[in-house]
Amino acid sequence: MKHRWLSCALAACMLLSRAAAEIIPLGTEQPESLPSAAPVETAAPEAEPAAAQETESEAEAAAIPSVTEQGLSLGIHSLRYPQVNGLADAEIEAQLNQDIRDAGDVAGLSARLALVMSGSMPLLSDSRVAWEGDVFSCVLRAEGPLTDTRWAERWACVNRDTRTGRDIALADLFTDGEAALERLAERLEELQGALSAHLMEGSLTPVPAVFGIDMSGLTLYYPMAQYTRLNGRCGTVHFTWGELREELDLTPGGLLDRFGVAAQLALGADSREAIRRCAEEGTFPGFPAALGDDCAEIKARIGLETDPDFYTDGRLLSPDTAICRGCWLMTDRLREKDLTGSVVLGLRADRLCLWGLCTGVTTRADWQAALGSPDSSVTLGAEAAEGMRMVPGVSDYYRLGERLLRLHADEDGILRTVILQ
């Protein structure tokens, strides 16, 4: 009986190489169904070969690069990993997919699943993918009884130029890779004190090997042996593109240019429309929550880095994620002791780089030139600013459809806080 159960478990694990969830085309809205890139045999009359050739060409043209989530869920266990489809170069695509499976240790986790399937601790794996232009960034996470009965977590990454098939190293993001990594290490050492209250053990330096990029910036992922948070998870540190702008390689046609980073760093003719679209979505790039989300669910799913803080109109919640360092969710005071019934009423970012709105860099004159005159403005003195947990200065309000964007400058006219409500 034992051998029969093990055979069934192993057979189920083999489905990891075949099972697929939804296909997500990149840079487009998801269609109801994706046409096959392969020619479809039809009963068309022999007299219409041109029409058949046209249909085949249209099918090939409709093949859009996309990501398919593959894997399976068995009881409390869930193993998921991404695979790429539709690249023009089949060899580059095959190698990328193999590298993703290797980095995520799909085969090893499959074998491990067979051994822990009857246990009470879930074995889980998932991923985060950002693919802009032909620059692909994938971070893979696994947690659970990875090697023995104790809980553990690990990160891995695959960053790839899908145009050339070349792997992307962290140093490749900067004009002077060696000098930039030294400066990055200095920034991490400066952060060590600020993050020490949430650090169980370890150090932020040296710079870890695992990293991922998206439109919000660069995130570093640490092994547990180097940096473990108080919640027992691997440490992560996030930098906005604006915080790294002096070292970034923004050469036209280069990696970051093709990824779209330049558009995040400078206000331009298209900035207002891009910011409006972001406002309509009710969230900032990479944020773990959106306007209207249930605060109790967010706390259960992510956790809070600190206890809620109070400001004039409600409470500020700091989700326990790297991107939310210096960022908060704004909510009400319906219940003083818990978050039952409370929803996200606003997103506040003191660290943000959003289509040219870069905290600590963008001036009030800059954003007014790009976005136009605000719908209203309010000056905050020292007392009012303290109540809002902000610095004294001036806030400009822009009505973007049903959303309200608040840009707050300090007394020197520099952007310090962005609020979306």
Give the mean pLDDT of 331-348. 85
Q: Three-state SS string across the chain, please?
A: CHHHHHHHHHHHHHHHHCCEEEEEECCCCCCCCCCCCCCCCCCCCCCCHHHHHHHHHHHHHCCCCEEEEEEEEECCEEEEEEEEECCCCHHHHHHHHHHHHHHCCHHHHHHHHHHHCCCCCCCEEEEEEEEECCEEEEEEEEEECCCCCCCEEEEEEEEEECCCCEECCHHHHECCHHHHHHHHHHHHHHHHHHHHHHEEEECCCCCCCEEEEECCEEEEECCCCCEEECCCCECEEEEEHHHHCCCECCCCCCHHHHHCHHHHHCCCCCHHHHHHHHHHHCCCCCCCCCCCCEHHHHHHHCCECCCCEEECCEEEECECCHHHCCEEEEECCCCCCCCCCCECCEEEECCCEECCEECCCCEHHHHHHHHCCCCEEEEECHHHHHHCCCCCEEEEEEEECCEEEEEEEECCCEEEEEEEC
Give the mean pLDDT of 269-297. 93
pLDDT of res. 22: 41
pLDDT of res. 2: 42
pTM for this predicted structure: 0.84
- Is the peptide bond prior to 122 cis by the omega test (within 30 degrees of 0)? no
pLDDT digits (tens, 9 = 90+) for 341-397: 899 999 999 999 999 999 999 999 999 999 999 999 999 999 998 989 999 999 999
Contacts of residue 343, Cβ cutoff 8 Å, sequence gap at least 6: 292, 293, 294, 295, 331, 332
- Measured CA to CA, the distance from residue 319 to residue 229 in angstroms comes to 14
pLDDT digits (tens, 9 = 90+) for 197-234: 666 667 899 999 999 999 999 999 999 999 988 888 99
pLDDT of res. 362: 96
pLDDT of res. 83: 97
> Residue 219's closest CA among 288, 134, 147, 307?
288
Q: Are 205 and 189 in contact (CB under 8 A)?
A: yes
pLDDT digits (tens, 9 = 90+) for 388-413: 999 999 999 999 999 999 999 999 99
Contacts of residue 32, Cβ cutoff 8 Å, sequence gap at least 6: none
Q: Are 320 and 235 in contact (CB under 8 A)?
A: no
- pLDDT at 50 exceeding the cut of 80: no
Buried b (16+ CB within 10 A) or exposed e, 141-172: bbbbbbeeeeeebbbbbbbbbbbeeeebebee
pLDDT of res. 308: 86
- pLDDT at 154 exceeding the cut of 60: yes
* Domains, the chain, ordered by start: 2-24+65-132 (no CATH), 171-264 (3.90.640), 359-421 (no CATH)
Task: Specify the residue for token string 């996309």.
Answer: 66
Contacts of residue 287, Cβ cutoff 8 Å, sequence gap at least 6: 216, 323, 324, 327, 347
Radius of gyration of the chain (CA): 24
Kindly report which listed range (44-48, 52-56, 275-279) carries the lowest average pLDDT score.
44-48
